[in-house]
Chains A and B, each alone.
Chain A
Amino acid sequence: MADKEQGDVSSQQNNPLSRKLNKILETRLDNDKDMLEALKALSGFFSANNLRSRRNLRSDIEKKSLAINEEFLSAFQAVKEQLDSVYGDVQAMNDCCSDMTNRLKAAKAQTHHLMSQTTKLHAESQTLQMKEQVANAFLEKFQLKSDEIKTLRGPRDGKLHEDFFKVLARVKQIHSDCKVLLRTNQQTAGLEIMEAMALQMESAYERLYRWTQNECRILTSDSPDISPVLCQALEASQDRPVLFKYSLDEYGTARRSAVVRGFIDALTRGGPGGTPRPIELHSHDPLRYSGDMLAWVHQATASEKEYLQTLLRLCEASNASFEELLGHITEGICRPFKVRVEQVLVSEQEAVTLYKLDNLLKFYHHTIGQIVSSDSAILTTIAEVQDLSHRMFFNSLSCHANRLLDKVDLPPADLGPTSSLTQTLQLLRDVLACHDASVVPVDDKKQDYKQILSCVIDPLLQMCSMSASRLNTVDMAAYMINCIYLIQSTLALYQFTDTRLEMLQAQTDAHVDTLTSEQAAYVLNRVGLTLLYNGVQQQAELQAPLSHLQGMDSITVKSAMNKFDSYLASPDSLTLPQCSLLLGTLVRETLKRRSVELICQAYQQMYAAITNPKHEYKDTQAIVPRTPEQVSKLLA
């Protein structure tokens, strides 16, 4: 069919009617919903399909349409009115808003100034707050709190609290911090604060000093109660050297009087109920009396040193001032001590006791010297009395020696030592023995020994020589040997006597020499060989043969030789009596040996001369039957 219609269209294309028709025909009614709807609506208009209605269709529709439009109109009229009122409202609102905007604008304009002012003030307040903090910090750092000031000024009773030192340290800190301030542009503040702190400090130190001084002044009991606060106070006072020194002086004075009182108490009062007894009760016993005093001084010195160390344990006091103070404290006992010891020394005669005292003083000088400095008064005093004791001792020794020389005893018949010699040697022994009990350094001991020996031995030897002066040579030699022997055997027991012993030995040797030749001469003389011996000795000067000289002829010589032979049989028969009086066995034997040697030597010379044909002795074998070898064998 489409093909057919297409054929129609192409054939009838230019015909408007056909076009119109085509158009209507082409209209698809069933597809046009509007048309369907419109038709449907139209269908409701008519109840009856009659002519009139068909003719009037158009007007009916138009009427209908008109009515609907009128209806619309009236309906929209209401809507319009409504809208109008809405519009009115909105208009009013708009007015209101714009009014408000205006008012706001005005208000804003008005408050702008205020705002900026507030901001400014706020910033200002912040700055001020910061400043306040800074100021507070500053005050915190540079000012004292009221309770601190109170602590510094102290309570009414003047007691010093430990917090005082904290505050004082703070004041000092502030004072030194001010120097930093002075370097900045805060000089005025710095100066003012510094001044204020200086004032505070001044009064604080003043108070500290008064308190310390007072506290020191009452430390007069036997053992002072050194409180920790006092130590702190002294530590703090160190910043004021003058006040520090005054405080220490005060302490020194208090302790000094306490020590003196203690010393006098110990001397005169003793312990409770008299035990320990007062030291002075033993004043009759020089050693105990002095020893007790010295021991007391030693203990007191040691204790005082300890107290002082306790007192100054927080301070950096120089060693010198420490020593000085200790010296000052112990100075007070010097006088009572010195007076008493001097009295003991002066009234003591006994050399041994004096020497013991001397050693005791020397010992304590050393012992106490380990505690106090060498230039302290107490040590000087001990040194002085020690010097005195030393002098008194040697004085006593010299006195003794002088007495020896004043009254020289004659030697006894047995040529033994005189009683004054033995007594003096006993004294020497006693004196040297007490050095064993002492603790004096070896050097001192050596020095002492030297002095003692020269003080005693020299006069002693002098005395012996004097007493021997009236004796003959042999007696004198024997006596001197005996005296020296005794001295030697005494000295040999002690140290540092070697040189002395050597010297004495040399003297003994000289006397032994004398005695030897005397003994030999005595033997020759007794057997009648002296003349011959002298002749033999001088034979070089003689012209004639010996046998031609008087007294040397064969007969005389022969008889003398006979006597000599009998001497050989019993050599002891011709010993000098003085020789047997010698005390030393060794000396006796030496003497014997050496005199025998001398005799043998003489015999040998005589034998040689006699057997010499030059001297024209006949029958020499009969004159001298023994060879020198045989003689020395016999005498040995």
Chain B
Amino acid sequence: MAAGPYNYSYIFKYIIIGDMGVGKSCLLHQFTEKKFMADCPHTIGVEFGTRIIEVTGQKIKLQIWDTAGQERFRAVTRSYYRGAAGALMVYDITRRSTYNHLSSWLTDARNLTNPNTVIFLIGNKCDLDAQRDVTYEEAKQFAEENGLMFLECSAKTGENVEDAFLDTAKKIYQNIQDGSLDLNAAESGVQHKPATPRSPISNDQPPSKEGCAC
């Protein structure tokens, strides 16, 4: 069946977080449209983008929620963490303050998502190496200490943008494969669409309940 871009077996939900002006929306735009948006307006609340990618032969639809970085939206954007399979935490390598705020973003992400959520640290604007304010090594160390994946990207040139999104998906897929991510549970941020036609009964299977961690 030639279904083109509509055929996919999983949906992964992502959320992009980080300070205002670090280039979250530009990263999303670069990833979904493969273009750099020069005069990107401030995001109002939350915006939404999708793209279908392929990870080890599986078509996966990424449903990406791009949040506003402005403090005044914090209350609104916090509600979007729930059920995210991947969180892209972005800072701007030319502005130290955005890096310094990472721990608060990380706390939010840890508190509001599920334990299996893959958190990916992105140092954006790596094309502006001359104005660099945060070294690669420092951020790398931060990422390692906190068990995050890490890449420096540029939404402008597109460098590493693809990799950041794909690596996150690979990691999530790996979690599914090794069973650490329970697909049956609601709001895991991952939805599986079996390729074989399923019987209507299978849909009514209640999600397996795990012991409540809290």
A residues within 8 Å of B by Cβ? 159, 162, 217-218, 220-223, 225-229, 231, 262, 265-266, 269-277, 279, 287-288, 291-292, 294-296, 298-299, 302-303, 306, 310, 313, 360, 363, 367, 436-439
B157 at the A interface (CB under 8 A): no
Q: A366 CA to B201 CA in the complex, in Å?
A: 38
Contacts of B186 in A (CB 8 A): 222, 262, 265-266, 269-272
Q: A227 CA to B65 CA in the complex, in Å?
A: 25
B176 at the A interface (CB under 8 A): no
Closest CB of chain B to A367's CB: distance in Å?
5
Task: Indicate with 1 or 0, residue by residue over B48-64, a CB within 8 angstroms of chain A CB atoms.
Answer: 10100000000000010
Q: A383 CA to B210 CA in the complex, in Å?
A: 38
Q: A222 CA to B85 CA in the complex, in Å?
A: 15
Closest CB of chain A to B67's CB: distance in Å?
10
Q: Is the interface of A mostly helix, strand, loop or mixed?
A: helix
Q: List 18 A-B contacts (CB under 8 A).
A: A162-B1, A221-B203, A223-B191, A225-B193, A227-B1, A271-B83, A271-B186, A272-B186, A272-B188, A274-B214, A276-B113, A279-B82, A295-B79, A303-B63, A360-B75, A439-B72, A439-B73, A439-B76
**Which residue of chain A has its CB nearest to the CB of B63?**
A303
The 7 nearest A-B residue pairs measured at CB: A272-B185, A295-B79, A276-B82, A275-B114, A223-B191, A271-B187, A228-B3
* B191 & A271 in contact (Cβ 8 Å cutoff): no
Q: A228-B6, A265-B187, A436-B72 are in contact. List 16 more A-B contacts (CB 8 A).
A: A159-B197, A223-B191, A227-B1, A271-B82, A271-B185, A272-B185, A272-B188, A273-B212, A274-B213, A275-B114, A275-B115, A276-B112, A295-B46, A296-B82, A363-B76, A437-B72
Restricting to B184-214, which residues have a CB under 8 Å from any CB of A?
A: 185-188, 191, 193-194, 197-198, 200, 203, 207, 210-214
On chain B, which size bracket covers the interface?
35 or more
Q: A299 CA to B14 CA in the complex, in Å?
A: 12
Contacts of B81 in A (CB 8 A): 276
Contacts of B113 in A (CB 8 A): 275-276
* B46 & A367 in contact (Cβ 8 Å cutoff): yes
Given the interface pairs A271-B83, A272-B114, A360-B76, the reply to whether A228 lies near B1 with Cβ below 8 Å is: yes
Given the interface pairs A225-B194, A439-B45, the reply to whether A273 lies near B213 with Cβ below 8 Å is: yes
Contacts of A270 in B (CB 8 A): 186-187
Contacts of A226 in B (CB 8 A): 6
* A292 & B203 in contact (Cβ 8 Å cutoff): no
**Which residue of chain B has its CB nearest to the CB of A277?**
B214
* B45 & A367 in contact (Cβ 8 Å cutoff): yes
**Which residue of chain A has its CB nearest to the CB of B81?**
A276
Contacts of A279 in B (CB 8 A): 82
Closest CB of chain B to A242's CB: distance in Å?
24
Contacts of A225 in B (CB 8 A): 193-194, 198
* B46 & A271 in contact (Cβ 8 Å cutoff): no
* A228 & B7 in contact (Cβ 8 Å cutoff): yes
Chain B CB within 10 Å, residue with most, of A220, A269, A299, A367 = A299
Chain B CB within 10 Å, residue with most, of A217, A220, A223 = A223
B11 at the A interface (CB under 8 A): yes
Contact of B114 among A273, A292, A310, A367 (CB under 8 A): A273
Closest CB of chain A to B119's CB: distance in Å?
14
* A273 & B76 in contact (Cβ 8 Å cutoff): no
* B214 & A276 in contact (Cβ 8 Å cutoff): no
Contacts of A360 in B (CB 8 A): 75-76
Contacts of A218 in B (CB 8 A): 198, 200, 203
**Which residue of chain A has its CB nearest to the CB of B182?**
A272
B78 at the A interface (CB under 8 A): yes
Contacts of B197 in A (CB 8 A): 159, 227
Closest CB of chain A to B162's CB: distance in Å?
22
Contacts of A162 in B (CB 8 A): 1
B128 at the A interface (CB under 8 A): no
**Which residue of chain A has its CB nearest to the CB of B185?**
A272
B80 at the A interface (CB under 8 A): yes
**Which residue of chain A has its CB nearest to the CB of B213?**
A273
Closest CB of chain B to A253's CB: distance in Å?
14
Q: A227 CA to B194 CA in the complex, in Å?
A: 11
B40 at the A interface (CB under 8 A): no
Task: Indicate with 1 or 0, residue by residue over B138-174, a CB within 8 angstroms of chain A CB atoms.
Answer: 0000000000000000000000000000000000000
**Which residue of chain B has its CB nearest to the CB of A306?**
B50
Contact of B203 among A220, A277, A288 (CB under 8 A): A220
Contacts of B46 in A (CB 8 A): 295, 298, 367
**Which residue of chain A has its CB nearest to the CB of B187?**
A271
* B191 & A222 in contact (Cβ 8 Å cutoff): yes
Given the interface pairs A225-B193, A295-B46, A296-B79, the reply to whether A273 lies near B210 with Cβ below 8 Å is: yes
* A295 & B80 in contact (Cβ 8 Å cutoff): yes
Q: A271 CA to B207 CA in the complex, in Å?
A: 10
**Which residue of chain B has its CB nearest to the CB of A229?**
B1
Q: A262 CA to B45 CA in the complex, in Å?
A: 23
* B203 & A275 in contact (Cβ 8 Å cutoff): no
Q: A113 CA to B189 CA in the complex, in Å?
A: 93
Contact of A276 among B2, B65, B114 (CB under 8 A): B114
**Which residue of chain A has its CB nearest to the CB of B214?**
A274
Contact of A272 among B3, B75, B210 (CB under 8 A): B210
Q: A303 CA to B48 CA in the complex, in Å?
A: 10
Contacts of B207 in A (CB 8 A): 265, 269, 272
